[in-house]
A and B are shown apart, each in its own frame.
Chain A
Amino acid sequence: MSFFLETLLGGLMSGMLYSLVALGFVLIYKASGVFNFAQGAMVLFAALSMARFSEWIPQWLGMDNLFMANLLAFAISVVVMFTVAWLVERLVLRHLVNQEGATLLMATLGIAYFLDGVGQTIFGSDIYKIDVGMPKEPVMMLENIFEGGILINKEDFVAAFISALLVVALSIFFQKTATGRALRAVADDHQAAQSIGIPLDRIWVIVWCVAGITALVAGIIWGSKLGAQFSLSTVALRALPVVILGGLTSVPGAIIGGLIIGVGEKISEVYLGPMVGGGIEIWFAYMLALMFLLFRPQGLFGEKIIDRV
């Protein structure tokens, strides 16, 4: 029983991390109808920038304070991600307004290749360490309830907590601020939003900035777990089933989808994996998402797709 609970909790926590990446997809898709394949590359780029600047800044300024270095690196990375967002809107999206979904999809794949290339050219292609002081040691919980208790990675716990915080912050931003309302208006109907004076291009920059920040947070968390390295960009592929399961247009969907996928993945890997040779995590998530899609083609929380002839 305690082993099952351990698996379940592990799944929930990795699920939270998936939702963090999935959030980036949902934000951009909601506001601009672009399925942003570059989200993974953005995570990698942000993580690399964070890792390298926190390494470089102490060298440049000759100081030895880890906290200050991280803070400055974070600030610079935020600026970097804002620049990326601005450039993407300016150089790519602006010219591709009203193109087909497939073309936009391919354009974001182009952005992904470009960011991968630029990131590794500027920041290097080794594995870099991100040290933001995440606790590494595992802790035992609920020892008085189960025999032996449950072993939990503190790092995962903190990460899940930060993700949850980010989600709450984003929800407030979307629901309560004027910019958030404008974003939701654009998401509902581009033309109507434009006609009441919401500037589309500025909204898109903002959305890409917000997605850039979620990418940065995801990059820092994933990066301090696995190290900032090229394989981070494949995290996006792990997060895709989350997005379609939860629905492309729904923020809560990204969270709940992430939890379902995280738990499904872990449990299948532990209980089903040994029977078929292991390593089934990655496709099982897709199959799971597909099963849900067969019953709800728009995802669990997506807006209903209505066809008119």
Chain B
Amino acid sequence: MFYRENGQFKTSYQADQQIFPIPQDRWVILGIVAFAFFGIPLLVDEYLFRAILIPFLILSLAALGVNILVGYCGQITLGAGAFMAVGAYAAYNFLIRVSGMPMLGAILLGGITAALVGIVFGIPSLRVRGLYLAVATLAAQFFWDWAFLRVKWFTNDASSGSVSVANLQLFNWSIESPTDKYLFCLGILVVLGLMAKNLVRGSIGRQWMAIRDMDVAATVIGIRPLYAKLSAFAVSSFYVGVAGGLWGFVHLGSWEPAAFSIDRSFQLLFMVIIGGMGSIVGSFFGAAFIVILPIFLNQMLPLVGGLFGLEVSIALVSHVEIMIFGALIIFFLIVEPHGIARLWSTAREKLRLWPFPH
């Protein structure tokens, strides 16, 4: 009833091609962003920031990056965790080795380093495809896992690769409290998210999608696979690297290579598949789902066990947790293989016609 676009006539090409051509969408999104900036810090307590909101923001940034590569360019990667690690450790090195390096600069340089590394590890994609490539990207994962554990230079001679960062500052704003951290991550996410949206609907995004859909055909119509694939690897790794920097600097504070293990890579890929491949908004849905689900299960299982009078040990909870996690993933893939983003667009179509069925 309220979500109609009839009567809204566009008079210019620009108006027709904007990100949210329907004003209702535009206002809702702006409202959500404004609420995220001004409303949530007033409403939410510290635990929620630390356990859910900050991880959600950072991981959705990483999921955005993975989605660019997997969802838009069609190159399956199982090594995203490694690029997070590269971003985090590169940012750490820039911060401590270059005197007077601002924190934001270090994180962005970490992202750029990750992009360069991503290009190198993207080179096999020019030759190897599909599942072979997916397994080949694991090479990146294991190589960097090893490198940050064993090569002392990367971690400033820290034992077992654990490093820490303190006193985060952006200009004169000292990022100490969870609210500050949240706002900082949100700011970066909004800027980079907007950039991603614009990239994928621009010329380069269309090249990626053409490569994804059929790379031989894309080559025939004059798209250079070398440029398209490597640029997708670079942009994706940049996002993932920045997210890695944030994860280390802002969320963890001190970390070791295990924070970016292969499980992280799987987790990011889960986010993309469950959220919706080739959809920007899907990355956010996927990240929310994967971040909240384990916390929810963790809280719920002892309660449910208590209802039946069962004493649930911590070990049992963690086993049942991964069991239900796995089952839910499968269930979700069966019910909606195109991800939450598809549910979202179906809901919008329905809403357009509501209250009429057709």
- Give A contacts to B, CB under 8 Å: 35, 91-92, 95-96, 99-103, 105-107, 109-118, 120-121, 125, 237, 240-241, 243-244, 248, 276-280, 282-283, 286-287, 289-290, 293-294, 297-299, 305, 307-309
In the assembled complex, which residues on chain A have CB atoms less than 8 Å from the CB atom of B149?
A: 279
- Give B contacts to A, CB under 8 Å: 70, 76, 124, 127-132, 134-136, 138-139, 142-143, 145-146, 149-151, 214-217, 220, 262, 266, 269-270, 273-274, 277, 315-316, 319-330, 333-334, 337
Choice from B76, B124, B320 contacting A117 with Cβ under 8 Å: B320
Complexed CA–CA distance, A114 and B332 (Å): 14
In the assembled complex, which residues on chain B have CB atoms less than 8 Å from the CB atom of A35?
A: 131, 134
11 A-B residue pairings within 8 Å (CB atoms): A96-B334, A101-B131, A111-B330, A121-B316, A248-B132, A286-B139, A290-B136, A293-B132, A293-B136, A297-B128, A307-B216
B333 touches A111 (CB 8 A): no
Most buried by A among B142, B277, B315: B142
In the assembled complex, which residues on chain B have CB atoms less than 8 Å from the CB atom of A286?
A: 135-136, 138-139, 142-143
- Report if A107-B330 is in contact (Cβ < 8 Å); known contacts: A121-B319, A125-B315, A286-B142: yes
- Report if A121-B132 is in contact (Cβ < 8 Å); known contacts: A114-B326, A293-B124, A309-B220: no
Most buried by B among A115, A280, A290: A290
Choice from B132, B150, B217, B316 contacting A244 with Cβ under 8 Å: B132
- Report if A106-B270 is in contact (Cβ < 8 Å); known contacts: A111-B326, A113-B323: yes
Say how far B304's CB is from chain A's closest CB, in angstroms: 14
Say how far A92's CB is from chain B's closest CB, in angstroms: 6
B135 touches A297 (CB 8 A): no
In the assembled complex, which residues on chain B have CB atoms less than 8 Å from the CB atom of A237?
A: 138, 262
Complexed CA–CA distance, A5 and B269 (Å): 42
- Report if A99-B150 is in contact (Cβ < 8 Å); known contacts: A113-B326, A114-B330, A117-B324: no
A121 touches B320 (CB 8 A): yes
Complexed CA–CA distance, A114 and B327 (Å): 6
In the assembled complex, which residues on chain B have CB atoms less than 8 Å from the CB atom of A95?
A: 334
Residue of B nearest to A288 (CB): B139
Main secondary structure of the interface of B (DSSP, over half): helix
B319 touches A110 (CB 8 A): no
Complexed CA–CA distance, A244 and B322 (Å): 28
Say how far A67's CB is from chain B's closest CB, in angstroms: 32
Complexed CA–CA distance, A103 and B127 (Å): 23
Choice from B128, B214, B323 contacting A294 with Cβ under 8 Å: B128
A309 touches B217 (CB 8 A): yes
Choice from A107, A240, A289, A293 contacting B127 with Cβ under 8 Å: A293
Residue of B nearest to A116 (CB): B322
B322 touches A110 (CB 8 A): no
Choice from A113, A120, A299 contacting B329 with Cβ under 8 Å: A113
Complexed CA–CA distance, A96 and B328 (Å): 15
A279 touches B324 (CB 8 A): no
Complexed CA–CA distance, A241 and B137 (Å): 11
Complexed CA–CA distance, A252 and B273 (Å): 33
B134 touches A105 (CB 8 A): yes
Residue of A nearest to B121 (CB): A290
A118 touches B323 (CB 8 A): yes
- Report if A244-B129 is in contact (Cβ < 8 Å); known contacts: A96-B333, A103-B333, A113-B323: no
Complexed CA–CA distance, A106 and B330 (Å): 8
Instruction: Add 19 more A-B contacts to A113-B323, A243-B135, A283-B143 (CB < 8 A).
Output: A35-B131, A92-B334, A96-B334, A99-B333, A99-B337, A101-B131, A106-B274, A113-B325, A114-B322, A117-B326, A118-B323, A277-B150, A279-B150, A283-B142, A286-B135, A290-B128, A290-B136, A293-B127, A297-B127
Say how far A43's CB is from chain B's closest CB, in angstroms: 16
A103 touches B130 (CB 8 A): no
Residue of A nearest to B123 (CB): A294
- Report if A120-B319 is in contact (Cβ < 8 Å); known contacts: A109-B329, A279-B146, A309-B220: yes
Residue of A nearest to B214 (CB): A309
Complexed CA–CA distance, A6 and B8 (Å): 79
In the assembled complex, which residues on chain B have CB atoms less than 8 Å from the CB atom of A297?
A: 127-129, 132
In the assembled complex, which residues on chain B have CB atoms less than 8 Å from the CB atom of A115?
A: 326
Complexed CA–CA distance, A162 and B76 (Å): 35
Residue of B nearest to A102 (CB): B76
Say how far B316's CB is from chain A's closest CB, in angstroms: 7
In the assembled complex, which residues on chain A have CB atoms less than 8 Å from the CB atom of B217?
A: 309
Residue of A nearest to B266 (CB): A109
Say how far A241's CB is from chain B's closest CB, in angstroms: 7
Complexed CA–CA distance, A121 and B318 (Å): 9
B330 touches A282 (CB 8 A): no
Say how far A25's CB is from chain B's closest CB, in angstroms: 10
In the assembled complex, which residues on chain A have CB atoms less than 8 Å from the CB atom of B135?
A: 240-241, 243-244, 286, 289
- Report if A114-B337 is in contact (Cβ < 8 Å); known contacts: A102-B277, A240-B135, A277-B151: no
Say how far B95's CB is from chain A's closest CB, in angstroms: 24
Closest 9 CB pairs of A and B: A117-B323, A113-B326, A114-B326, A110-B329, A286-B139, A283-B142, A110-B330, A117-B322, A277-B150
Complexed CA–CA distance, A121 and B151 (Å): 38
A293 touches B128 (CB 8 A): yes
B327 touches A110 (CB 8 A): yes
Residue of A nearest to B332 (CB): A110
B142 touches A282 (CB 8 A): yes
In the assembled complex, which residues on chain A have CB atoms less than 8 Å from the CB atom of B138?
A: 237, 240, 286
Say how far A245's CB is from chain B's closest CB, in angstroms: 10
Say how far A269's CB is from chain B's closest CB, in angstroms: 12
Complexed CA–CA distance, A237 and B138 (Å): 9
Say how far A23's CB is from chain B's closest CB, in angstroms: 16
Complexed CA–CA distance, A5 and B130 (Å): 37
